Structure 1
Amino acid sequence: MLARELEQLGGEDIGILRRGVSFKGDQRLLYSANIWCRTALSILKPLGDFRFDTRDDFYGQMREISWPELFPPEKTISVIATAHDSTVFNNTMFLAQLSKDAIVDLFNEKLGRRPDVSTANADIRIVVNVQGDNCKVSLDSSGEALFKRGYRRSGGQAPINEVLAAGLIMLSGWDLKSPFLDPMCGSGTFSIEAAMMSARMAPGAERKVFGFSHWHDFDRELFTEEQEKAKGQKQAVQASIIASDLKGQMLDIARQNAMHAGLLGSIHFQKNDFFSYHPKEKNGWVLLNPPYGHRMNNQDVRALYIHIGDALKNRFSGYKAGIISADLDSMKHLGLKPSHRYSVYTGPLKATFNIYELFEGNRKEFVTQKKTNPPLRGKNTRRDERFNEKKSFGSNRRG
């Protein structure tokens, strides 16, 4: 998903990594990626990649990077360090400290001044990743994590991350125009992210400060130009988006969050019990993040999931349902066979996100009907749609 977003923005040499995506581009792309990407937590700019044998060797290699040419000494810094399979560093706090020492010592030597260290809200965030005897050093161009869109001032018991919510909506295959239901809306993240996507609202269009804002090479004119282009893409929400919850308090929170996002009038909020809800539209998408495990306060989780499955089968025929849960065992009790299954993480918890095609009658009849009456599209239609979407996106944003 992130690779596709970057491709649409004009990224080149895109590569899929274990927990990220690599790409190449110019300064304009760096700015637009931070403004537009919905599924990125942060965007890092590589500074160096080196091998080392000892701590002294590591310290010397870190000083080879021209830190004073990247940002001024008046800025505050923090170092985020990770280490895996290293015989030199078995303590990431020491790794971060040694990295910081190398940086500030170089500033003192070159300028006679050094940046202060800040453990929270630092201007400059330096990412140091050690894998074995190899080190990669990057600058975090985003600064504050990109999932912090700015609209969620309060959340529910276990609010879903904005980046994860956007990614799940993309995985669900929602077309941005069909009805979208969020019947256990909580703080409203699914609904708000769906509305932003349908309205072509760039997540970072209103954000004032990114990590790159503190760099020497920050081009304010170029950044402002990219933000204004992004704001010009905004349109009216093209779909009926309904957010409902049984708890009035949660609906109030969801409404407040939608108001902060500028989307209060684009989402229909309703106080409803999912288990008695009857959708008015015959077709659409429904996304659920039901309670699980410790969130249930010792209630019968299995019975809940059986009840959810029955409700979907009996009242949501014609819909596609997406359900995320970290309770993999309870998902089996939905009584539904997923058409797609994805492994994801919600915070530190491994979870599954399943897509279900809901239909009347038995599955054999449904599958037979799909084979007899396939969608009216050619073999290469999906590829053509992606190409046209990319072409339109590029011309509208840069033309």
Structure 2
Amino acid sequence: MQFYAICPKGVEPLLATELATFGASEIKEHPTHVSFEGDLAVAYKACLRSRLANRVYLCLLEDNFELVDEMYEKINRIEWSWHFDLNQTFVVSCVARKNKHIRHSGFGGQKTKDAIVDYYNERYEKRPSIDKENPDYRVHVVVNGSQLKVGIDLCGHGLNQRGYREEGGRAPIKENLAAALLIRAGWPELSQQGYDFHDPMCGSGTLLIEAAMMAANIAPGLLNHDFAFLGWKQHDEALWQDILSEAKAEAEQGRQKLTNRFYGSDSYRRSLPLAEENCRASGLAEFIEIEEQDIRQPKAENISEKGLLLSNPPYAERLGEEEEVTQLYRDFGDYMKKRCDGWHAAFITTEDQFAKAVGVRSHKQYKFKNGALDCKLYLFEITKENYYTPFDPTKVNPNWEKGLSEGAEMLKNRMRKNLQRLKSYLKQNDVTCYRLYDADLPEYSAAIDVYGDDVHIQEYMPPKEVPEKTSRKRLQEIVRVTSGLMEIPEADIHLKQRLRQKGKQQYTKQQTADDDYKVVEENGFKFQVNLKQYLDTGLFLDHRKTRKMIFNEAEGKRFLNLFAYTGSVSVYAAMGGAKTTTVDMSNTYINWAKKNFSLNGISPYGHSFVQSDCMQWLEENKGGKQYDLIFLDPPTFSNSKRMEDTFDVQRDQKTLINLTMSLLRQGGKLYFSNNFKRFVLEESLKEKFVIHEITGKTLPPDFKMSKNHHRCWLIQHKV
């Protein structure tokens, strides 16, 4: 009889070896599954004893086909009535790839269902029912180019669902992947040599339970052996009972002989009751100790003389978590050295940098898939000979230039060129806050801004076709090169991701625990910036020259700042001698503007701060108090809760500029700016007012070559 078993990617060779122990023959590895031959006893053992398979299928057809009708005919000719009756339900799952006729798995599944239903209709003039939720049988179809494989599921449930875990806790690892990690880490041999087992970040306890089951030779299917083959028409009940009885006897004997000790701990208190409940459900609670423990505050003594530590630590799933997670791995390394000296150790993670942070040399790695994530299992010997001091991100890495990729070398050279180009300008103008790099190389798509002794990096949203791992690696290279060139520790670099802005996202807070304000200087003026908590820092660097222009024109003027943000332009106007009015919808930014005034010793007398929707404020003040100088810098789009309607700068420019010009006195100047790259000024506005684009005059040298900057127009009334 022919069978095949599916498994997680990377587990195929282990599964092939395991199937051989059940008596399987003609074993062949394929991507995500292993085919084999054997009698019913082999299939029953595979279902009951396999620690690695997801499902085991009886292969009903393995053939080639060219056309969809040919596929239908081949499936229709299978003697389905040998396997299940009309009163039993079924469902079809299909995996289709590399076939020009069946481009969608759903279509392949539909044709298979039609062939099965027609088989029964032709013979019995009745059809079996489909049950997608709880079918009696699952038919599995694999279409790979012209190859066709059809199987019937003997398990009925995923074999990774052992039956001891009702809930998985945070980021649970599947039971069969856990078993694969244990095998790669050498646990079957180590357990027989009397080694103990420890998982210091045990979560719901999966690795602990799998390790204990393996050491006691407990068949993983004993807790959940309601298999689909029990209702199969070719089922041999007597054979099954013999195999089941043998497995139960071995499990009982294994429990009696078990002398290994199993230790689980976690700092996440809510995981512990879940882990304890899972251990009880497995029947192995008496062998497993669970305790609350933070690896940053370990006990002093060794756990035992010899053992295996295996864990599934957290990964960095979101931007900005890399440093926090890297520190966790440093602490993890210290923990292993303190409590597991002389032990074997292993853990699975997504990034080499995390493995390097533990400060112990790995002698072997294996690739796995944990769900959709590419991971590696790293093996270690916890001995002093293997210890080294990992990179400390709180210090500048003296070897940062060694081993750079070709792309990172290009990034380094481009940033050095930029520094050299800006050197004289920065020195002559005493500029300490500037843009060093702005997606100059498409592969390294980020803006790098310097704020005195700090660096702020905004990663632009990478294209969908760029794999997440690739974009993450490039971002790490940006941080590494920036740290080295600027001689700033990586830990002091502020990292954010700039998505395509939609409305109120533009100025929203990032989810951080602490404020991180600092005061910077520009042209002798002081401004408060926040490099950590907000996506934008509080000071638009590309408007440095615009602010200076307004300062030079401000003396004795009435100045209006609309969509004022943190009021930096208002500070320049006030310091230049203007009476200012600062309008913004956000109370946070109005208060920030007041703080900036205070930092520069500007008396509040003669200056007003208005919290209001700018469009609404313009409507209410239309044709009212006149201003000599106006700065108008609206967002591209906004749909804040404080607004009655959305705002779109392209759509609403005519209304916005007409209302603003109603407040500009004859002979006054309106500086209109926005950041919408595809912005087109309305022709009717050009006919009504005197308009000149002055973008080039308002861009400082550090933004001349950037694609991400404002455009600016000078607008005046016609004489």
TM-superposed CA distance for 1:274, in Å, is 2.1
Alignment CA distance shift 1:135-1:361 (3 Å):
closer
Q: How many residues align?
A: 364
Return the offset for 1:259.
0.7
Contact 1:198 1:238 in 2 (8 A): no
What is the CA–CA distance in structure 2 between the aligned matches of 1:254 and 1:356, rounded to whole Å?
A: 26
Structure 2 matches for 1:304-323, cutoff 5 A? Answer: 304-323=328-347
CA contact (8 A) 1:181 1:241 kept: yes
Question: Does 1 or 2 have the higher relative contact order (CA < 8 Å, sep 6+)?
Answer: 1
Asked whether the equivalents of residues 344 and 380 of structure 2 are also in contact (C-alpha less than 8 Å), the reply is yes
Give the residue type in structure 2 aligned to 1:57.
E
CA distance in 1, matches of 2:51, 2:113: 31
Question: 1: distance between equivalents of 2:320 and 2:280?
Answer: 31
Distance 1:319 1:359 in 2: 8
Is 2:61 the partner of 1:48?
A: yes
- Aligned counterparts of 1:362 and 1:139: Cα–Cα separation in 2: 50
- 8 Å CA contact 1:35–1:203 kept in 2: the answer is yes
**8 Å Cα contact 1:124-1:214 kept in structure 2:** no
Q: Name the % identity.
A: 34
**AA in 1 matched with 2:304:** E
Partners of 2:347 and 2:378 within 8 A in 1: yes
| 1:211 match | 228
Asked whether the 8 Å contact 1:75–1:123 carries over to 2, the reply is yes
Question: In 2, distance between residues paired with 1:361 and 1:52?
Answer: 59
CA distance in 2, matches of 1:70, 1:362: 57
Does residue 342 of the first structure (1) align with residue 359 of the second (2)?
no
State the partner residue of 1:246.
267
Q: Within 5 Å, give how 1:1-399 maps onto structure 2.
A: 1-174=14-187, 175-176=190-191, 177-234=194-251, 235-236=254-255, 237-278=258-299, 279-294=302-317, 298=321, 300-361=324-385
Q: Which amino acid aligns with 1:351?
A: C
Secondary structure (helix, strand or coil) at the match of 1:43 reads: strand
5+ residue gaps, structure 1, are 365-399
Q: Are the counterparts in 1 of residues 262 and 288 from structure 2 also a CA contact under 8 Å?
A: yes
Kept after mapping to 1: 8 A contact 2:142/2:150: yes
CA-to-partner distance for each residue in 1:68-120, whole Å, 9 max, x for gaps?
Answer: 12211111111110111101111111110111011011111112222211212
SS in 2 for 1:256: helix
| Alpha carbons of structure 1 residues 78 and 362: separation in structure 2 relative to 1, 3 Å | closer
**What is the CA distance between 1:295 and its match in structure 2?**
7.3
CA contact (8 A) 1:75 1:214 kept: no
Aligned in 2, Cα 1:92/1:154: closer, same or farther, shift over 3 Å?
Answer: same
What SS is found at the alignment partner of 2:204?
Answer: coil
Q: Please give the alpha-carbon distance, in whole angstroms, between the structure 2 residues aligned to 1:199 and 1:297.
A: 43
| Alpha-carbon distance in 2 for matches of 1:280, 1:334 | 19
Per the TM alignment, residue 297 of structure 1 is displaced from its structure 2 partner at its CA by: 8.4
Cα shift at 1:363: 6.4
CA distance in structure 2 between the aligned counterparts of 1:274 and 1:115, rounded to whole angstroms = 56
Counterparts of 2:25 and 2:108, CA distance in 1: 32
With over 3 angstroms needed to count, the CA separation of the structure-2 counterparts of 1:303 and 1:204, relative to structure 1, is same
The worse-fitting range, judged by mean Cα deviation, of 203-212 and 23-32 is 203-212
User: Which residue type is aligned with residue 338 of structure 1?
Assistant: S
Q: 1:276 to 1:282 in 2, by over 3 A?
A: farther
Separation (CA, whole Å) in 1 of partners of 2:30 and 2:110? 27
SS of residue matched to 1:311: helix
For 2:320 and 2:205, the matched residues in 1 are separated by: 22
Shift of 1:294: 2.4
Give the Cα–Cα distance (whole angstroms) in 2 for the partners of residues 226 and 178 of structure 1: 30
SS of structure 1 residue aligned to 2:221: coil
Deviation at 1:57, TM superposition (A): 1.8
SS in 1 for 2:59: strand
Conservation of the 8 A alpha-carbon contact between 2:162 and 2:223: no
Report the CA distance between 1:362 and its aligned residue.
5.4
Give the Cα separation in 2 of the matches to 1:311 and 1:205.
36
> Per-residue deviation at 1:309?
2.0
- 8 A contact 1:206–1:227 mirrored in 2: no
Query: Would the alpha carbon gap of residues 288 and 100 (structure 1) be closer, same or farther in structure 2, given more than 3 Å must change?
Result: same
Closer/same/farther in 2, CA of residues 62 and 300 from structure 1, 3 Å limit: same
Task: Render the CA deviation track for 1:172-225: whole Å, top value 9, x for unaligned.
Answer: 012223110011110000000111111111111243421222321112222122
8 Å CA contact 2:82–2:234 kept in 1: the answer is no
| In 2: Cα distance, 1:248 partner to 1:263 partner | 21
Structure 2's unaligned 5+ residue stretches are 1-13, 389-719
Shift of 1:146: 0.1
**1:247–1:312: structure 2 CA closer, same or farther, 3 Å change rule?**
same
How far has the Cα of 1:168 moved from its partner?
0.5
Deviates more, 1:37-46 or 1:330-339: 330-339
**Local SS of the residue matching 2:271:** helix
Q: Which has the larger radius of gyration?
A: 2
SS in 1 for 2:88: coil
Distance of aligned partners of 1:361 and 1:341 in 2 relative to their CA distance in 1, 3 Å threshold? closer
**In structure 1, what is the Cα distance between the partners aligned to 2:343 and 2:294?**
18
Equivalent residues of 2:77, 2:119 under 8 A apart:
no
SS in 2 for 1:275: coil
